[in-house]
Structure 1
Amino acid sequence: MRKLVKMIKLNNLQYNANRDPQFYRRLPNEEFRLQVFLEGRGQARARLEAEDRTLCDAQIELPGVLDCRFAFDTAGVRIGTLTVEGEGETHRQDLRLDVIAEAWVG
């Protein structure tokens, strides 16, 4: 049986919770890009929530891709919860969304 979620990319890199978070960090008001590659047939609903608000919410034809862009206006670490429902399956994953106050020099 195939998985519903084939791959997750954050800022054009395959998401890996063990990777150094520096690879995914953004500055305030700088855009994050989330891509979720889905497999299967029919339709799926994909949603990303963080800080009690919905950042992305879409109905997607399978196979397909959720392409979502969002930004935060203040520095800090947020945990976004990605939920994908389709083909009788629910995939839920937490993503670290890290916004730094100032760009590193060097």
Structure 2
Amino acid sequence: MNNEDMKSIFDQINNLKKPVTESKETNAAYEKDAFREVLNGISEEIQRVLDENDFTQEDLCRITNMSQSNISKIQNGKVVPRIETLQKIANATHTRLVISFESMEGED
């Protein structure tokens, strides 16, 4: 086997690795978008229950004994709330915390 053959084989091997890397990058981007969607959903749900109860952030702070800064960060998607925090908000707004997994089949 000459040098040209060896170079050809290594080129083929390197080309096989590229789609795997691109696939990992695509998956990472998808996961980041999906995570952002979850945080947005949490924010929307908190706002919905506040509106339904005619509560302000200040009211929620007083009832839950949480800081307004923390509640604001949750609503703005700046922090990931713990389940215990979400349960505390649910209790304060007379709602039930529900976490579910939905099928992604049929989505583009």
TM-score (norm 1): 0.27
Q: Normalized per residue, which structure has more helix?
A: 2
Rg larger for: 2
Bigger RCO of structures 1 and 2 (CA < 8 A, at least 6 apart): 1
TM-score (norm 2): 0.27
Q: Normalized per residue, which structure has more strand?
A: 1
